[in-house]
Amino acid sequence: MSKVFITGSSTGLGLMAGRLLAEEGHQVVLHARDAARADGTRRALPQAEAVAVGDLSSLAGARAVAEQANRLGPFDAVIHNAGVGYRERRRIETEDGLLHVFAINTLAPYVLTALMQRPARLVYLSSGMHRSTEANFDDLLWETRHWDGAEAYAESKLHDVLLAFAVARRWPGVLSNALEPGWVPTRMGGPGAPDDMDQAHRTQAWLAVGDDPAAKVSGQYFYHMRPRTPNPQVHDAGLQDRLIEACERLSGIALPS
């Protein structure tokens, strides 16, 4: 039996993954953005051991979630599921003056990775859209470019794979992988999304707890429990390091060596 923490798990794929893991007999700790959502999360999955509460759009919120998780852990695996989608029609800043989609999709998983007790496995959710973009560290927060919500989202999902692969390279004792769940009809994906909802949550659960040798790898990218070729940029150690350096500068938190 494993103990697994899942961010962004009050609804959608995070909750679905939590439910699957609980049904398989694993201990699950979920996460919700605020107290009201946490109450609903407890009702949705009463088998969950606990629900950490905190808004990952702020550095204070991400720190608070990491502190709660460390009190509730240690964990065998952490699934970085929390994210916002590609429909933001304008550039939104957080209370820290950071780009909203970057703060939640990129910086929050970095902060949690850096501050939480190191698990045996780390799983980062990306998107197939990451293959259609390029890392842009000259304007990481979209301060000079004309706003494009879909492109900003795709970049953030590229960051997630870069982060997963950077951790795999830097922490050889941890299995760190990324995946795409497919374009599925969640609140983020929209009702017209064509992919199989029944498959969308299974890969992250499999990577978190699976005994299959195919799940016990590191620095890999998956779709429906099979390896998939990611954007070639994610293998560039220099780009991985630039992302880590940017996240450290913007958060004031170093990734432990």
Is 153 marked active-site?
A: yes
**Annotated catalytic residue, options 86, 153, 221, 223:** 153
Q: What is the tens place of the pLDDT at every residue in 21-58? A: 999 999 999 999 999 999 999 999 999 999 999 999 99
Domain regions of the chain by residue span? 3-251
Give the separation between CA 224 and CA 35, rounded to whole angstroms.
Answer: 33
Q: What confidence category does residue 223 fall into, taking pLDDT thresholds of 50, 70 and 90?
A: very high
The pLDDT > 70 percentage for the chain reads 94
Is 216 marked active-site?
A: no
Residue 184's closest CA among 168, 160, 204, 166?
Answer: 204
**Annotated catalytic residue, options 3, 110, 124, 157:** 157
Q: Is the pLDDT of residue 187 over 90?
A: no
Assign domain 3-251 to its CATH superfamily: NAD(P)-binding Rossmann-like Domain (3.40.50.720)
